[in-house]
Amino acid sequence: MKRENRTWVMLLFILIFLLSAPKAEAREWIIVGPRALGMGGAHVAVSNDSAASYWNPAAYGFFKNKKKEEDYYGKRKWSSVLDVGVGVQIHEDLGESLSRILEYNFDDLDTGQISASNVDDYIQLINELKTFDENKDRAITITANAGLGTQVGHFGIGGYAFSEISAKGDLDMVNIAPISSGTAGADIITELSNTGNFNDGAPVPTGDHYFDTATKSELISAIAGMDNWDSASATDFVQAMDYGLSQAQQNGAVIPSDITTAIEDVAQLANDAQTGGSFADNESILLFKGIAIGEVPFTYGRAITEDFAIGGNIKFMKARVYNTAVKVFDTEFEDALDEARDDYKESETFGIDLGLLYHIKDNLRVGIVGRNLNSPKFDMKRVLPWDNNYIKEKPQVRAGVAYRPLDFITLALDFDLTKNESTISDNYKSQNIGGGAEFNVFKVLQLRAGLYKNMAKSDIEIVYTAGLGINLWLFNLDVGASMSGETSEIDGKDIPKETRVELALSFLF
């Protein structure tokens, strides 16, 4: 199977709740809509069309406001927005690490043997697996959204879909012996230290060497001092590695400069894998976990005063939850991925969103919104022993401020008040802060720019955003995109660790 195919391969009571919500945890907040994305994801106090159903339903309280017909919100009698978007995040260089792992020809190891010329590949592969396994946050996350919402006065209805699916490794560091003894529980120490069993039964020749005498002595001493090793087995092990590296080099292999440390690491792993089998028995897996949610929100907003409004959604929710595993060292990897897409559970429930919006001045607004405040739960298949049989949409709370110093300029800033967790990992948190600006040129062209950053995790650093809107009388066409400054290498190509694209068509009256 081609390597590249493997690689490419989500009032008082309200105020008390919202203020206490930072202790809660939720799925990462998805930036929905090109206008929001172009402004760095800042839209809680900005959204002034049917998209406010998602960003802050309190805006509905100011729509069609007779007392403020010319207000930023009051002039909106009805609106409809159709939008789609997709995004990718690569956490902790998963793509780069996975590419390095999959470039090794582990099909040779599946045969239960390793030739001397493949010793360097084996050592480097084991060390790549070790490095990969030590970082539990390595993951790739794909998000997508689509929706059609309609607002008429203070009321709204829509249909939206949100999905988030992630993949991360759960590696088997026990079944890593290169040679199969034909019996259960093959011992990696026995398989690599006995010279008579190495190199397909041939004794290790004494004439070819990669290491000098001093380096070999240091290696033997270091390995012999480990548990379950003695001087004789350490000597045989190092001699086998020495000969194998010599042969690999003669065949044109480039041996990394830190190979000595790598050999010690393999020997240490052998301590922890004494009861393991060969690579043919390796159970390393990619865990795929995700959720696709369809929502039908019924939105209502009410202005309590001229400057303060409250709004909310009651929404029907149907979810398809994925929780499955695919073996990394599976010759039918692509088929296994196809099967994973069909492995899910479906369930339905209801959700509640609430928002507040306050005009401090005509040109200054602050808002706060809480999504999924009732923590809706959906059924999930249990794959690992510690898995739950459900996934919970924990509350998300976000605050925002918007300022219009001039009629044609809007500045905005949003901040997550909750630490939101990834679908795939309890270890990975997000708490984004983002801001941006929108410039309205002659009410025909809107130019947007911004940035956002995850304050809870620094692996992706700053993500830059930009957007463009064209006003064609009764409808707008908008596009927005984001891209991180940090990159990850996959198949020798540098790609952004995070990127997202959003497109929308809006009808505004």
Structure tokens at 125: 């592969």
pLDDT tens figures, 230-251: 787 788 778 777 877 887 788 7
- Pick 287 or 339 by higher pLDDT: 287
- Pick 365 or 70 by higher pLDDT: 365
CA 93-95-100 angle, 5° bins = 100
What is the rounded CA–CA span in Å between residue 449 and residue 36?
A: 10
pLDDT at 197 over 80: no
Name the average pLDDT for the chain.
79
What is the rounded CA–CA span in Å between residue 428 and residue 23?
A: 16
Structure tokens at 454: 């995850």
pLDDT at residue 17, rounded to an integer:
36
Strand partners, 281: none
What is the rounded CA–CA span in Å between residue 314 and residue 350?
A: 7
pLDDT tens figures, 359-381: 998 789 999 999 999 999 999 88
- Pairing state of beta strands 419-421 and 25-27? parallel
- Pick 450 or 119 by higher pLDDT: 450
- Pick 185 or 287 by higher pLDDT: 287
pLDDT band at 277 (very low <50, low <70, confident <90, very high): low
pLDDT band at 207 (very low <50, low <70, confident <90, very high): low
99, 491 Cβ separation under 8 angstroms = yes
What is the rounded CA–CA span in Å between residue 233 and residue 193?
A: 5
pLDDT band at 425 (very low <50, low <70, confident <90, very high): low
**Residue 207: CB atoms within 10 Å:** 6
CA 434-435-439 angle, 5° bins = 150
What is the rounded CA–CA span in Å between residue 269 and residue 448?
A: 52
pLDDT at 441 over 90: yes
HSE-up (13 A, CA, CB side) for residue 165: 21
Location of each CATH 2.40.160.60 domain in the chain: 3-92+135-171+283-508
What is the rounded CA–CA span in Å between residue 178 and residue 36?
A: 52
Structure tokens at 398: 């976000």
What is the rounded CA–CA span in Å between residue 21 and residue 16?
A: 8
Structure tokens at 49: 């069309």
Contacts of 371 (CB under 8 A, 6+ apart): 26, 351, 353, 395, 396, 397, 398
The answer to which of 37-51, 90-104, 494-508 has the lowest mean pLDDT is 90-104
Contacts of 320 (CB under 8 A, 6+ apart): 291, 292, 344, 345, 346
pLDDT tens figures, 375-410: 999 998 887 777 788 888 889 999 999 999 998 999
Average pLDDT estimate for 291-318: 94
pLDDT band at 507 (very low <50, low <70, confident <90, very high): very high
pLDDT at 27 over 80: no
The answer to which of 14-23, 115-124, 129-138, 326-335 has the lowest mean pLDDT is 14-23
Most confident of 221-230, 232-241, 460-469: 460-469
pLDDT at residue 19, rounded to an integer:
41
The class that CATH gives domain 3-92+135-171+283-508 is mainly beta
Q: Which pTM value belongs to this model?
A: 0.76
pLDDT at residue 308, rounded to an integer:
93
Phi, psi (deg, nearest 5) at residue 130: -60, -50
Hey, is 279 helix, strand or coil? Answer: helix
Average pLDDT estimate for 255-261: 81
Contacts of 215 (CB under 8 A, 6+ apart): 260
pLDDT at 157 over 80: yes
Say which DSSP state 269 is in: H
